[in-house]
Structures are given as structure tokens and as C-alpha cells.
Structure 1
Amino acid sequence: MDVKKSLWSALTTLVLCLPLMAQASDEWAHKKKLGFDTTSTGVEIKEAVSQLPMLVRLHSGNFTFADAKPDGSDLRFFAADGKTPLKFHIEQFDAANELAIVWVQMPKLAANAKSDAIWLHWGNPKASSESNSKASYDAAQVLVLHFSEAGAVKDATGNANDAKESNAKQVAAGPIGNAAGFDGNTKMTIAPSASLKLSAATGFSFSAWVKPAGNDNATLYLQKDGAKSLAISLVDGKLAATLDAAKVIATGALKPAVWQHVAVVAGAGKLSFYVDGQEQGSGAFALSDIAGSASIGEKFVGELDEINLSAIERSPSYMKALATSQIADSAISSFDEKEETAEISYAAILLGAVTIDGWVVIGLLIVMAIISFWVMITKTISIAKINKANTAFITSFANKSDELLSPGHVEIANLAADPEMKQSSIYHLYAIGLREVKHRFDMQTAAGKNNSLSHAALDATRASLDAAMVRENQKLNSGMVLLTIAISGGPFLGLLGTVVGVMITFAAIAAAGDVNVNAIAPGIAAALVATVAGLIVAIPALFGYNWLSIQIKNVSADTQVFADEFLTKSAEMHSA
């Protein structure tokens, strides 16, 4: 019973999972590997970097926009193993002009290595967007302004440090998508928030893309906390940072009318400047806690893009990787030229196109298949046990036939005590024949006559043996009718599913008015699945039925031979 319950449980699970198998076709059709080179042949990074927002630029040279959804919502990024999903967000996706800007959070970027890589997957019309800007940055990221959204300037992090007021103009040709233009009279303000607080214990990191109109004096970022203020500014075109009495100025001036990535990192009593990832001066800087509101671009003439503020001191390697990865055609990363496409799964295509009525037919055929295999397996085991027990009995009878044909002999009791004899069909026949002989001997003894078997008694015994053989044959053939049903009914049931599936396919084509191979082929192919399933049920059942029939005939023949032997020897021993 436990085996039966297990089989039925497996059947139920399989039938319930069949519709899910059809959904296995919802895979990404295209994928491409993006490798990273942090050695001297790419961009040399001396220390490992973690939680880096990596810029991925997509264009017609490295990405097939026609194979992706128009809004890029089917984009997915995975780690080097191809399985671990990475957090990302899409800043811009322009399918018409075949340009896209995506930010992917790199869990770790190894130093001096070419082993790191990520995978980009696309090409799934059923996929929904998983772009999430708030999850693309670590907890230390205070502020990120892309300037790519229309309308109000929004903070890309989860801190909601959006621009409260802004009269800067959006510029289309920034280094990363859109940028913000300032004319000296424009600025942005950000309301105070708990996340804007900078601590002397952890330091801070500020970065931005800057394109100054000239070597003017201006403020890039200003944060005021009462009488205290932190300013990151330009002094005669040079980067400068001030906090109360502390002031540090970079060694060189920025180039006018040229986009440059600038960064200011402070912590542990020191402040450093970076331009395009390279250090451009440093000095002692006594940082103290500061909160309050912030403003961007006061008296600045030029353009700004990708403003970042972190509440921790980032490492030099982090700032270098951040700056160089955002440069167009950066040497730190490159896509493999070869695009990999997902292998076509014909089984998935067929199962995905099977209609509900087809699944009903296939489900019935699966039930038939399980029953057929159950009959074949159990019947094979049963016949094997019967053959083994029959061989053991015939051997005993051949050696001790006189004793076993003498009612009341001790050998008869010994044989009956053998548990293996319960499996023997010939022993069952022998026990019935011996019972008939004993019955007549008991009657003769009661009447004071000698024990003997008359012709009438032998005929009566033969009739009992014939009836016993019929019952044994019925036991042997039990369940065989289920195999004949599977052999004859399986193909017809499968054909029914195919015909109905073809009818539905043509009806759908007629309703849609779309007559082409792509519209017809999946439905017809899926309809034929039912016929294939019917043949899969019938063919094993046919072979099993023929083999079992031969085995049953052999057992029946052995039984018939023993019946004749029993009667002949009984007549010889007990004739009148």
C-alpha cells in the first residue's frame, strides 16, 4: 500500500507541475559577458573595491536593442557565476537612438585582476522591470543626482534628498546622459535631512562631473549648519575645500570647457582632491560634524553632472574606479564581442503551446502509463516468485512423490509448513488434488473398505483440478486487461487530443486572421504531443503484454503437466 500511495502521490505532483513546465520557456534569449581589467593593461586598481556603482553604457555596437523590450524592462544583470542577480537601475533607455545608461552595483571589484565579470541578460517579452535605484547604492551613499529625469531633480538613493528648488537648465550632451547647466545666477537647494549629516568620525566623499566655463570662483557644494559651513568650491579654477578655519586647495586648475571628474575625500584629519581618478593635492583638514541644508552651483558658470555625496571616506582605489568606469569607452570594462543566445528548447516550445484540452488528454495518458507500468512491474515480480516456488515444489515432488501422494504422511505436513509453497500455483493444485484423494479415503475407511481410487473418483479429482487451474489462470491474468486497454486506447486517446488541438489552432488562426508558419507551427506541433504521449503509453504496454503473456502460458503449461502427472501417479498407487 505504501508503494501505491507513493506512485499516486508522484502522479499528482507530476500532473500539477505540467503547466509549470510550459512556463519554463520564459527565459532570456540573449546574454553577454562584461569583463573587467584592473591591471596595467586596463585601469590599474591597487586595492579591492566593494559596493561600487558601475556604469554600463549600451549602444548599437555592444547591444541589440531590437531584441529587448522598448523600455529595457527585461534587462537583468548577474554575477560571474551567471546565477547571482545583481542590483541595478536604468538611468536612461532610448531604444529609438539605441543608447542606454545603466548603473550596476558591483559587490566586489578585485585589484590587479582580469577575472571579474558580470552577465547582461535580455530578450524576454514577459519580464517585468527590476530596475531599482534605491537598492543600487550602499548605505553610506547620501546623495546621487543624475539630472536625467524630466522636471524636478531627484535623488537616486533611498534618502529622498531631492532638489527643493532649482533653476538650473537641463543640458542634453552631458558626459553621462543629461546634465545641468548653470549661468552664475542659478543654483539648487536641498532641504536638511538626517541623512545629510556628515560625521568627523567617518569622513565624507564628494564627486561630480564638472565642465567650468573658465577659471572663475564658484561653489560646487555648500552645506550650512548654523554658523558652520562646509564648502567645496573653485578658487581661480582650482578645487578647494573649507570648513570654518580649515582650508585646502588643489595643486592644479581645472581645464575650461572640458568635462572632468572631480572628487574630494576627507577623513582622519586629511583631505584629498582627485581629478579623473588621479590625486591632485591634499592637506590637513580638521573635519567636524555638520548637518543642515545644502546648495549646489552657487555663482558657478558651466555644467555639472552625476553629483555624489557619501558619508564615509572612500578609498583612493574606489575613487579611481568610480571615475574611470564612467568615462566613455573606459579601459576598465569591455563586453565580449560574441553574444550568447539561449539554447532553443524544443520541449519547452512544445509544452508551452499545449492547450488545456491537450493537458487533460496528456494527464489521462500519464495515469494510464503509471497503471501500465505498475501492472507490468508487479506482475513480473509475482511470476518470478511463482516460478521459483513451482521449481522448488516440482523438485520435492519428483524426489518424494510416493510420500506426498499418501494422505497423512509426515512429508505432506513438512511441505505445507514451507512458506515458499504459498507462492506456488502447482502446490495449490496439488493441495486440492490431495484433499480430494484424502476425502475419498476417509469415506472408505469409515465404511470399512480398502483405500483405492476408482475411475469415477479419478474423474471427480480431475474436475477439481481443472477448476483449480482455471482459478490459478485467472489470478495470473489479473490486471492484464489494463495493458490491453493501454495498448488499444492510448493511441486513440492521443489522436483525440491531437485532433482537438488542431481544431483549436485553426480556429484561433481564423479568428486572428494571421496565416503564417509562425502562427500555425507551434499549435500543430503541440497538438501532436498528445499522439506521441499515446504511443509512449501503448508501445511499452505492448511489449510488456506480449512478454507477460508468454510467461503466464509457461506457468499454465507447467500446471497442466503436473495435473496429468498427479492423476497418473495417484491412479498407479491407489488403483482398485
Structure 2
Amino acid sequence: MKGKTAMAPSARPSTRDIVRASVSRVSRFALMLAVATVAFTSSANAWWNDEWSMRRQIGIDTSSAGANITDSIGTTPILVRLHVGNFRFASAKADGSDLRFVAEDDKTPLKHHIEKFDSLLGEALIWVNVPNVQPGAKASIWLYYGSEKAIAVDDSKATYDPETSLVYHFAERGVPAQDSSSWANGAQSVGQPSDGALIGTGLRLDGQTPLTLPATPSLAVADNSAMTVAMWVKPGALQRDAAIYSRRDGRNGLVLGIDDGSPFIELTVNGITQRTAASAPVAPGGWHHVAMVATPGLMTLYLDGRPYATLNASLPVLNSTALLGGDTVTAAPPQPVPPLEPATQPDGASGAAAAGSGETVAAPAVAPAPVTPAKAGFAGDLDEFSIAKTARSAGFVMLAATSQGSDPSKLIIFGVDEETASWLSGYFGVLIKAVTFDGWVVIGILAIMAIASWIVMVEKHGYLKRQKRANAKFLPAFRDLQNDLTVFLQRDVGTSGKGEKSQRFIGKHSSLYRIYQVGADEIRRRFPDDATGGSHVLSAESIAAIRAALDAVLVRELQALNRLMVILTISISGGPFLGLLGTVIGVMITFAAIAMSGDVNINAIAPGVAGALMATVAGLVVAIPALFGYNWLTLRSKDLTSDMQVFVDEFTTKMAEVYSSNRPDPVVHRLAAE
């Protein structure tokens, strides 16, 4: 075509250029998102010490939904039981020396000591001093482990408060029981260990050989003083009037025992004995928590953490030794023996004659006192015996009975393992590790869909933005045309932003210019010379044909606007369904694995279900941004579509005006005016 030298042909960007630019934008966005995630994770999940690679949150729930403890508790030692279901023994040191317990603020280390740690069997018993436990509330502590450089810091003496006078775990073999409190009140005799007791190793009592407790100043009981005695007992059989704990000092005495399955307190003050009334008995063969709390004027007996019986009395002075599994012997007061009568001889001689013979009969002044045990010894197992020089609250006793019992799950709730603070740690890291292979397949497909949809959204946003800017530059210049609609095929476009760069920008990105270019080419093709529009006339048929050509290019431009939008619709509709498929398959596999192993507990179910739900989350992550982006891009596309349709009408109207047969010749019009 003649004269078409100024405006470069319209050129759309190649697919390679579009993908390269879009990937670059997506990469920058992903980098910014990763940096923000790392910053958020680091601030939201503070790490007590970076030398420890693992941690787990341990919840303490005394609310109505948990242990339902309503009485005051305070600072108390809590037993933490670890097993393969709630702890990774392979990630900790073999002796547990890297275990650290930190308060809820994730800053304050807590005192603790290890009663048992067996990494081969996957069992551990740790006592942790938890400060200021509140009733009817939820709190938590942190368990850290996984440090090769850590050394043992467990401290049994600091685990208990100074009011605790004696604590026996009965973990020793062949030696007397050692006191874990700060008072060193070790036993004076060796007991028989009981394997497989409630808390590790216990004490086996046969009713004949009691364990002797020392008489130390820290264990001395003053008149009307406060005291708490607690223990776990497992009766071997029903016994009559059996003593579990006995302490007698002259005419005073204190006995905790069991009579036909009913625990009791028996108190002797100045030879006068009182005893709690019998209540509902317990069956032999089961573990029960028995505790006595003495205050001036009142003694309360607790069974399994709940009040069982009371006695309106106060403790007397007790400074003697005490026994576990037996009762101290009592002796009756010595009785004087009357003198012997003179012996009578067969011949009737008096006893004086016998005395005169030089033989004397000596009689003792008193008779020997009878010595008998007061009560039978307890036969059964005993575990976790403790004495305190204070009256523990009802909440303290209930928490001890609950946390040390066989099912502490209502009180102590284990969280999931978290690794060293990073964007792959915490709950998100645990979820990633719980995802099964089939879940990863679904998540991988969804990841491809997500990347594709993000690329489409970034590319379409840039495409629409550039097109709108280019159209805004071209349209005012087109509306200023008067006599020749093909002029922009020969010179720069627009009254502002002139120059080669602006011309290339409009020619490359303006959809209106591309429509104009087709219409101008059609006009130029019908007028081979370079005469102005006033010298040429287009018939109605030619105008209709040019309008058809404009409609055709309009359709192609609409197709370009909607190109690749189907990827967003697939992501919106298909992403959630693919995620749901992955979740259903993951849950099925989890329950099938539980059925095969027979291990039914929340720690076995939760990771698999949580990992399966990751597929649904991934599906939503794909669909939600695609939905928002699709709606936004559709609205922008409709605006550009309307602009192009209006432009086609404008071009057709202006073409009919400029090249109409009814339009007067401008030269003739000028001469007529003169």
C-alpha cells in the first residue's frame, strides 16, 4: 500500500514473552510472600532456645470441659507421661537429659526431674513443677527436646515446695526408698519392689514386713498442726482393719488404713481413739488415690480426689518413727504381782521353818506386759507416697489424683510436635509430614493449577492495563480527524506523547488502533491514489463491507481478551473438588491404618485426618484467588469490550460522514462562500 511508512504494523507479544514476563512477576510475588511468612512465623511462634530443634505444647485444662476442678490449686508438681503416641523418643537423647520444660510465656524454665526414661521401650515419667495453676481455666507449658549439646538439669529437690517433707517414688531396687524432696527423709528399711505399678515401680507389701520411715525433725508433728498424707494404694484382697500408714507416739497415734474395702482415719489422742465412719468400699485389685488432709479441728479423707469421710479432731504430737504396711506394737501397762504366801509343810510346820532351812522364794515385783500388734499390716501395692507439713487444698488433691491416674487425658492435653522456628515449623510443618502419598499427588496437581491461574491473572491484568492506556492515547486523536480517516497510516498518532516510542506503544497494545487499522486499510484499498476523503465517495455497499470487516476484527479482539480465562474457571470449579477427593482418600487410608493396628486414640487419628484436610485447603487456595481474579478481570474486559463496540460504531459513522456522496466538495463550498 502506498504511503504506509510511519506507523509500524501492529505486533502482539509472543507467547514466550508473555510467559517470561508473567513468571518474573509471579516469582517476585512469591518471594515477597515467603519473606512475609517467615517474618510472621518467627514473631508468632517465638522459640525459647534455638539449640533445641523440637518442642511440643502440653495443655493443662481444669475447666468444665477438662478435669473440672473448681477449688484453688496453686503451684503443684504434675506428672507428664510420655509414650510413643505423644513423643518422638528417636529425636531426644537416650537418657532424656535434653528435656526442658518452659512456662506458657515460652521464656521461663520450669523445674523438673525424671523418674523414668526408657527410649527403647518408649516410656518416660517426668515430674514438672507448674506454678500457679488456676481452677476452671486452661493453661499450657512447653516441652523442648532435641539438643545434642544439652546436659541433664533435672532437680527433684526443686520440683517440690519446701512444705513437702517426703516423697517416695519407689524406683529403687535393693536399697531403701529415697526421698525426692529437699529434706532427705529416706526410708530405714528395704522394701520389695512392685513392677508395673501405676507410676513406674511401686512398693509390694505382704502385711508382715512394713517399711520403716524415719523420725526426723522435718517429719515431726506438733499439736494441732496441719498435715497432708497422700498415696496410691491397690488392695490385694479384702482385709479387716489393715494399717497402710501408722505412726504411734506413746498414748497418741495416727493410722490410715482400710477395713473391708473402706479407707479410714483412726486418731488416738491421750489414749482416746476416734475413727471416721465407714463409707462405700472399693473393690480389691484396682488403684485408688487416698489422701488425708489435717487442719486444726478437722481431718478430711479423700478417695480418688473427692472427699470421702471427715473427723472432727486435731493432730496430737507425733515424733516417733512411722510404718508403711504395718502398725507399731503396743504394750499394756505393767501390772504388779502380789507376794507369795508362806509355803505349808506336810507336817504342818510354818513357812518360817522352811525359811530357816536357808531356802528363799523370790517373786518379781511386776508381771511382764503383753505385747501385741494393734492392727494387721496392709497387703497389696503402694505407689507415690508423700507427706507435707501443710494442708493441701481440695483442688490440689483433685489435680494430683487426676494427673497421676491411669487416664489423665482430660487434664493433660498434648499438642503436636513443632520443629525449629521456620516457615516449615509449627503446626504447618506437622501437617506437611502427615500428608500421605496420595495427598501429595492431589496437592501437586493443585499446585500446577494454582501456578497456571496466577500466571494467567498476572498476564491478563498487565494486558488489560496496557490496552486501556494505549486506547486512552489513541481515541482523542481519532476523534479529531476530519477529511481523511487513513491519516494515521502515514504519521504519528495523538496530540500528546508524540514520537516513535509512543507510536510503537499504541501500535502494539491498542485494540482500538488495530480495529482502526483494518478499517483504514479497507478504505485505502478502495482509493488507490492519495486524494483526500472529500474527493472520494463510498457506496452503501462498501460501507457495509467495511463494517463487516470491523466486526470481524472486533470478534478477534474479544477472543484475545478472553484467551486463557478458561484456566481460571477450571481452577474455580475443579480445585475444591480435587481437594475434597484428596481429603476423602486420606481419611479412608487413616481409618484403614487404625483398623489394622488396633490403636484407637486421638494421637493416632489426628495427624492423618489433619494431613488429609491439607488437600481441601490446597483446593481452596487454588479456587479462592482464581475466583476473585476472574471476577476482576471479567469486569475490566467488559469495559474494554464496550469501548471497542462503541469505537466500531464511531468509525462507521465518521466513515459515512467523510465519504458520503451527499457531502459537499470543500472547494466548491469555499467558492460559494466567497
Is the contact between residue 61 and residue 410 of structure 2 (CA under 8 Å) also seen in structure 1? yes
Tell me what 1:303 maps to: 381
Listed one character per residue, the Cα deviations across residues 274-297 of structure 1 (whole Å, up to 9, x for unaligned) are 111111121212322322211111
The residue identity in structure 1 corresponding to 2:91 is D
1:522-551 Cα offsets, whole Å, 9 max, x none, are xxxxxxxxxxxxxxxxxxxxxxxxxxxxxx
- The CA distance in 1 between the partners of 2:303 and 2:79, in whole Å, is 18
Q: 2:157 corresponds to which residue?
A: 134
Corresponding residue number in structure 1 for 2:237: 214
Once the two structures are superposed, the pairs formed by residues 49-198 of structure 1 within 5 Å of their partners are: 49-114=73-138, 116-152=139-175, 153-166=177-190, 168-198=191-221
Distance in structure 2 (CA, Å) of the matches to 1:78 and 1:25: 10
1:322 aligns with 2:322: no
CA displacement 1:100-132 (0-9 Å, x = unmatched): 000011111111112x11110001111111111
Cα shift at 1:344: 6.0
The one-letter amino acid paired with 2:89 is F
| 79-88 vs 320-329, greater mean Cα deviation | 320-329
Once the two structures are superposed, the pairs formed by residues 242-391 of structure 1 within 5 Å of their partners are 242-244=266-268, 245=272, 246-298=274-326, 299-343=377-421
Note if contact 1:163-1:188 (Cα within 8 Å) is conserved in structure 2. yes
Distance change in 2, residues 1:343/1:220 (3 Å): same
SS at match of 2:399: helix
Q: How many residues get paired?
A: 321
Following the alignment from structure 1 to structure 2, what is the Cα–Cα distance between the partners of residues 127 and 187? Answer: 41
Q: How far has the Cα of 1:198 moved from its partner?
A: 2.1
Per-residue deviation at 1:151? 2.7
**1:312 & 1:87 partners in 2: Cα distance?**
21
> Distance between the aligned counterparts of 1:302 and 1:120, measured in 2?
35
Q: 1:269 to 1:92 in 2, by over 3 A?
A: same
Instruction: Give the corresponding residue for 1:228.
Output: 252
SS at match of 1:257: coil
For the aligned residues, what is the CA RMSD?
A: 2.0
1:317 aligned partner, one-letter code: G
Note closer, same or farther for the CA distance 1:102–1:124 as it changes in structure 2 (3 Å cut).
Answer: same
> 1:162 & 1:184 partners in 2: Cα distance?
21
Amino acid at match of 2:184: A
Amino acid paired to 1:59: H
Q: Which residue of 2 aligns with 1:498?
A: none
Over 3 Å counting, the alpha-carbon distance change for 1:342 and 1:335 in structure 2 is farther
Counterpart-to-counterpart distance in 2, 1:331 and 1:69:
26
Contact 1:247 1:285 in 2 (8 A): no
1:25/1:251 CA distance change after superposition, 3 Å: closer
Counterparts of 1:137 and 1:308 in 2: how far apart (Å)? 11
**Letter aligned with residue 379 of structure 2:** V
Whole-angstrom distance in 1 between the partners of 2:49 and 2:282:
54
Percent of pairs with identical residues:
36
2: distance between equivalents of 1:342 and 1:148? 34
- Alpha-carbon offset, residue 250 of structure 1: 4.3
Q: Could you tell me whether the CA contact under 8 Å between 2:113 and 2:126 is conserved in 1?
A: yes
Kept in 1: contact 2:204–2:380 (CA 8 A): yes
Rg comparison, structure with higher value: 2
Q: Which amino acid aligns with 2:183?
A: N
Quote the residue 1:529 is aligned against. none
Amino acid at match of 2:216: S
Residue 262 of structure 2 aligns to which amino acid in structure 1?
A: K
8 Å contact kept, 1:228–1:290:
yes
Q: Deviations over 1:187-232 (max 9, x none)?
A: 1002210111123444111111111012212111112323422211
Distance 2:116 2:79 in 1: 12
Q: Which runs of 4+ in 1 moved over 4 A?
A: none
The two structures have a TM-score, normalised by structure 1, of 0.54
SS at match of 1:57: strand
Deviation at 1:268, TM superposition (A): 2.5
- The aligned residue for residue 505 of structure 2 is none
State the Cα distance separating 1:306 from its structure 2 match: 0.4
The one-character-per-residue Cα deviations of 1:34-54 (angstroms, maximum 9, x if unpaired) are 111111211111133122110
- 8 Å Cα contact 2:91-2:146 kept in structure 1: yes
Q: Whole-Å Cα distance in 2 between the matches of residues 106 and 268 of structure 1?
A: 28
Aligned partners of 2:231 and 2:290 also within 8 Å: yes
Distance 2:250 2:183 in 1: 22
| Aligned residue identity for 1:292 | S
Per the alignment, residue 563 of structure 1 pairs with none
Contact 1:264–1:273, Cα closer than 8 Å, also in 2: yes
Summarize deviations over 1:330-355 as a string: whole Å, max 9, x none. Answer: 1343344421111369xxxxxxxxxx
- What secondary structure is seen at the aligned counterpart in 2 of 1:317? helix
1:238 match:
262
Please say if residues 215 and 254 of structure 1, whose CA atoms lie closer than 8 Å, have aligned partners that are also in contact.
Answer: no
| Distance in 1, Cα, partners of 2:49 & 2:197 | 40
Mapped contact 2:403–2:412 kept (Cα < 8 A): no
Counterparts in 2 of 1:393-542, with a 5 A limit? Answer: none
SS in 2 for 1:338: strand
Change over 3 Å in CA distance of 1:276–1:328 after alignment to 2 = same
Unaligned segments of structure 2, at least 5 residues = 1-47, 327-376, 424-674
In structure 1, what residue type is equivalent to 2:196? A
Q: Displacement, 1:25?
A: 8.6
Instruction: Tell whether the 8 Å contact from 2:211 to 2:325 is kept in structure 1 after alignment.
Output: yes
After superposition, the Cα gap between the structure-2 partners of 1:202 and 1:331, relative to the gap in structure 1 and judged at 3 Å, is farther
Partner of 2:528: none
Partner of 1:420: none
User: Retained in 1: the 8 A contact 2:235–2:380?
Assistant: yes
Aligned counterparts of 1:25 and 1:331: Cα–Cα separation in 2 = 28
More displaced 10-residue stretch of structure 1: 243-252 or 122-131:
243-252
Q: Is the contact made by 1:264 and 1:271 (CA closer than 8 Å) also made in structure 2?
A: yes
